[in-house]
Structure 1
Amino acid sequence: MFQILVSGIAACLLGLALTCVVRKVAPQFGLVDQPDGHRKLHRSATSLGGGIAVFLAALIVTVVSMAWYGGWLDLSWERQRMLLGLAIAGLAIVVVGALDDRFGIRGRQKLFAQVVIALILVGFGVNIQNVQIFSWRLELGSAGILFTVFWLLGAMNAINLLDGIDGLATTVGLILTTAIAAMAISIGRMEIALVATVFACSLAGFLCLNFPPASIFLGDAGSMLIGLVVGTLAIESSLKGPGTVLLAAPLAIWTIPILDSLAAILRRKLTGRSIYTTDRAHFHHRLMDRWKCNRKSLAFAALCCAITSFAGLGSVILNNDLIALITCVALLALLISFRIFGHAEFRLAANRFSSMGNSLLTPFWNKQGSTHHSSVRLQGSRKWEILWESLVEWAEKMNLSELRLDLNLPLVQEGYYASWKQSGRSEADREWRFTLPLVVSGNRIGTLFVVAERSQDTAAQDLETLLCLLEPFEVNLNKIAEEISTSPASVPAADSKSISPILPSLSLAEKTG
């Protein structure tokens, strides 16, 4: 334990020193994060490359400690090989991340690189062959390689998605690696405890300059490195036997990153967006919406991670997976019920299941003309439903089959999704579909999707019907979007009096009065 403590102190000091150096030289290599006024809202250009400093500090201290305390650790070849693989994979992910920070890499290219790096770790012995939760044991066999790669990919990208406010990814990584170090000590894996402690302390040194207001960022090199290291060490610290992972503990430790990633995927898939679409509806964005303070948001996120990490540690020490399960489910329920995070995604999923249930349970002879209508405020407080209700009334009068509206305004943290559908309204081979990107001041803020039956003699007449909808709709949409973009903090939520009717006969003031 004394050796681990000394190594941790050395890693913290070296991490701080290297961070100071990287912060100074990073701009000379173009490693600078510029605010863009859309998604990156920090006040001024900030150095990137914190991940390089963390990696070098952790690697140097770990190598020196292993050489100095080699006899104390008494590592087998298999464990030495795993640590060597982690070092090589860590170097590779830092290089990929640094290139992405400097030049930008397409999502698919980065994913391919992550798969290759995960396979490097598998080749060096990191492989989940079996998983066990409660008393259930699942033999993965050759599928274990796929499961391991999937786990590592999820780990790298989950932390990357969380890296959205000053100090968050660093703090989460510090808490998770500290919990892993304690888990490793409890099962006698002292080399894992050493690596986890050194990495956590390297992050602590970096956090001194990354704490809000940050003067240097991790960059993709750092966030993906944290995910890779924590994902690998979580596997190794949860081994019950050769290749057998007690799954409850690592899942508990990863609850918040996993929840954030799953919510993002669910939110984007259920609204018809690409999973690569950026938004400001992640866990940390919700916290910032609520408290308007980086440090308060960081403290709450750290508290949540600490709770789940202690639950994972307790499940290992007490050999009771229920501790992890109950704690994580209770935390998730609290986050959703108090509308802190996950409630919008929960409503989207509930609406989708409700629609599917109605479709399955309604007799086919009663489906003609039946309507399903749902709307979810994903983020913000603007009264987009007023605009949506006018669209629905127009759709009903024009006998449309389906209508969907998806709004995403990251800059002002507004999001809204609504759908309306009439069953049995048209035959599939007579339908026309129209997808309109909604653009305000050169920025795309959403999508309008329309389905209707060919009811006119010519396509031009059908399009004329559509234009009756689009022209007043876009005027109203531009009015609202430009108002809140100009002064999001002071302009009140748009009400019915500020929106012109879409139909000449439709007065929104009368509808909502």
Structure 2
Amino acid sequence: MSVWWLLPLVVGFSFFLTAALRRYALARSMMDVPNERSSHSVPTPRGGGVAIVITFLFSLVFLCWTGWIDMAFFIGAFGTGAIVAVIGFMDDHGHIAARWRLLGHFVAGGWALFWLGGLPELEAAGVALHLGWIGGAFALFYLVWMLNLYNFMDGIDGIASVEAVCACLGVCILYGVSGHQALIWAPLFMAAAVAGFLIWNFPPAKIFMGDAGSGFLGIMLGVFSLQAANVDSRLFWVWIILLGVFIVDATFTLLRRLARGDKVYEAHRSHAYQYASRQYGRHLPVTMTVLLINMLWLLPIAFSVIRFNVDGVLATIVAYVPLLVMALKYHAGELEPKVISAKH
């Protein structure tokens, strides 16, 4: 049974559901009001990422029912996504203490790993790594970090949506090139679900994603990468490369703030992409630059891992060095001048 015909319906369903959520947010005054930590200047409805969650989870049900994804992956992905989305939805509508959010994130990650079978054997620098329970612990922290870094990086119009669409469509191409077409369906339907929302979220955004959507995307992309690694370890490095913009900016910023002794769970706007958006005075140039980096730099490097069997670790280093230079250029993790002056 072909499911290609369903993709336009998924995009349309996500689009109209986002519109409905926007009307609901406006009616209930669920607005993201700008403050000193915001990267936007106009009050904007929030919570639109719920459209991505609902659309994709319905898609998973259909894909499992028609046999395009296996039951273990369905149970793991559906349960993990639902847990994270509920936590994010509750936090969007009130406040959940950071420790309880984090506990929920680890539970969700553990659920996914149970059904995926943990971290598979990975090949790094030509060496096969059998990490056992250490690998399982690493995979759990990896999933939780992917969830949170995506939340951190969802700070300007369209950037999180564009990153997800680029990564998912890019990896679908590489799944096809590597002969692993069976893996295509989940990321392809995720791209379609995000595309419907992106129409509303593209700069200037008419609605924001919210924690329910950003956390859901982060952990689901992590789940996709571990699913792929179980089939071909090269595909794990492909995902790490394709998500390089978010991984480098978020990780470098976090390490810099940790070294300075900041409370890393507190809101801030010291990511490189946030500094860049303020420098250029608009979100659109930054979001479009992320798209171009993904398609013109990261995708070709990921392609080399699959087509020319370039070592995944080496390819990741090559991909990340310019991203790290850009993070430094745009002051990732540095205190804003006004914050510095306030301390003196």
TM-score, normalized by the shorter chain, greater than 0.5: yes
Return the letter of the residue paired with 1:185: G
Paired residue for 2:243? 254
Partner SS state of residue 4, structure 2: helix
Q: Which has the larger radius of gyration?
A: 1
Alignment TM-score, normalising by the size of structure 2: 0.89
Identity over aligned pairs, percent: 23
Partner SS state of residue 132, structure 1: strand
Counterparts of 2:320 and 2:113 in 1: how far apart (Å)?
31
Q: Does 1:297 align with 2:286?
A: yes
8 A contact 1:238–1:250 mirrored in 2: no
Listed one character per residue, the Cα deviations across residues 178-214 of structure 1 (whole Å, up to 9, x for unaligned) are 1222233334444431111111011111011101111
**1:85 paired residue among 76, 88, 93:** 76
Q: Does 1:311 align with 2:309?
A: no
Counterparts of 2:331 and 2:307 in 1: how far apart (Å)?
30
Cα offset, 1:228, TM superposition:
1.1
Q: 1:333 to 1:170 in 2, by over 3 A?
A: closer
Counterparts of 1:41 and 1:264 in 2: how far apart (Å)?
16
Cα offset, 1:289, TM superposition:
3.3
Q: Does 1:206 align with 2:197?
A: yes
Counterparts of 2:60 and 2:180 in 1: how far apart (Å)?
15
8 A contact 1:133–1:247 mirrored in 2: no
Q: 1:140 to 1:104 in 2, by over 3 A?
A: same
Q: 1:336 to 1:4 in 2, by over 3 A?
A: same
Cα offset, 1:269, TM superposition:
2.2
Listed one character per residue, the Cα deviations across residues 452-499 of structure 1 (whole Å, up to 9, x for unaligned) are xxxxxxxxxxxxxxxxxxxxxxxxx5xxxxxxxxxxxxxxxxxxxxxx
**1:67-82 superposed matches below 5 A:** 67=65, 69-70=66-67, 73=68, 79-82=70-73
**1:116-127 superposed matches below 5 A:** 116-127=107-118
Paired residue for 1:271? 260
Cα offset, 1:42, TM superposition:
2.9
Partner SS state of residue 132, structure 2: coil
Cα offset, 1:120, TM superposition:
1.0
Counterparts of 2:307 and 2:230 in 1: how far apart (Å)?
13
8 A contact 2:86–2:212 mirrored in 1: yes
Partner SS state of residue 220, structure 1: helix
Q: Pick the structure with more helix per residue.
A: 2
Counterparts of 2:239 and 2:117 in 1: how far apart (Å)?
15
Q: Does 1:22 align with 2:11?
A: no
Return the letter of the residue paired with 1:134: A
Q: 1:138 to 1:116 in 2, by over 3 A?
A: same
Counterparts of 2:282 and 2:246 in 1: how far apart (Å)?
21
Paired residue for 2:56? 58
Q: 1:245 to 1:83 in 2, by over 3 A?
A: farther
Return the letter of the residue paired with 1:7: L
Counterparts of 2:163 and 2:42 in 1: how far apart (Å)?
24
Listed one character per residue, the Cα deviations across residues 41-93 of structure 1 (whole Å, up to 9, x for unaligned) are 533432222221011112223433443x43xx4x5xxx321122101211111
Paired residue for 1:352? none
Cα offset, 1:123, TM superposition:
1.9
**1:320 paired residue among 299, 303, 310:** 310
**1:200-239 superposed matches below 5 A:** 200-239=191-230
Listed one character per residue, the Cα deviations across residues 313-359 of structure 1 (whole Å, up to 9, x for unaligned) are 3312322126723541442365267x2455xx6xxxxxxxxxxxxxx
The answer to which structure, 1 or 2, has the higher relative contact order (CA under 8 A, 6+ apart) is: 2
Counterparts of 2:261 and 2:18 in 1: how far apart (Å)?
41
Return the letter of the residue paired with 1:32: M
Q: 1:253 to 1:292 in 2, by over 3 A?
A: same
Return the letter of the residue paired with 2:214: S
Return the letter of the residue paired with 1:141: G
8 A contact 1:128–1:245 mirrored in 2: no
Return the letter of the residue paired with 2:307: I
User: CA RMSD, aligned part only?
Assistant: 2.5
Listed one character per residue, the Cα deviations across residues 113-159 of structure 1 (whole Å, up to 9, x for unaligned) are 10010011112225213221231121111222211111101110111
Q: Does 1:287 align with 2:285?
A: no
Paired residue for 2:124? 133
Return the letter of the residue paired with 1:84: I
Partner SS state of residue 316, structure 1: helix
**2:142 paired residue among 148, 151, 167:** 151
8 A contact 1:184–1:192 mirrored in 2: yes
Counterparts of 1:205 and 1:336 in 2: how far apart (Å)?
30
Q: Pick the structure with more strand per residue.
A: 1
Q: 1:28 to 1:127 in 2, by over 3 A?
A: farther
Partner SS state of residue 5, structure 1: coil
Partner SS state of residue 237, structure 1: helix
Partner SS state of residue 129, structure 2: strand
**1:47 paired residue among 45, 48, 66:** 45
Listed one character per residue, the Cα deviations across residues 236-261 of structure 1 (whole Å, up to 9, x for unaligned) are 223345xx565432221221111112
Counterparts of 1:245 and 1:31 in 2: how far apart (Å)?
43
Return the letter of the residue paired with 2:41: R
Listed one character per residue, the Cα deviations across residues 378-409 of structure 1 (whole Å, up to 9, x for unaligned) are 3xxxxxxxxxxxxxxxxxxxxxxxxxxxxx45
Counterparts of 1:131 and 1:25 in 2: how far apart (Å)?
46
Q: Does 1:10 align with 2:9?
A: yes
**1:394-409 superposed matches below 5 A:** 408-409=335-336
Partner SS state of residue 128, structure 2: strand
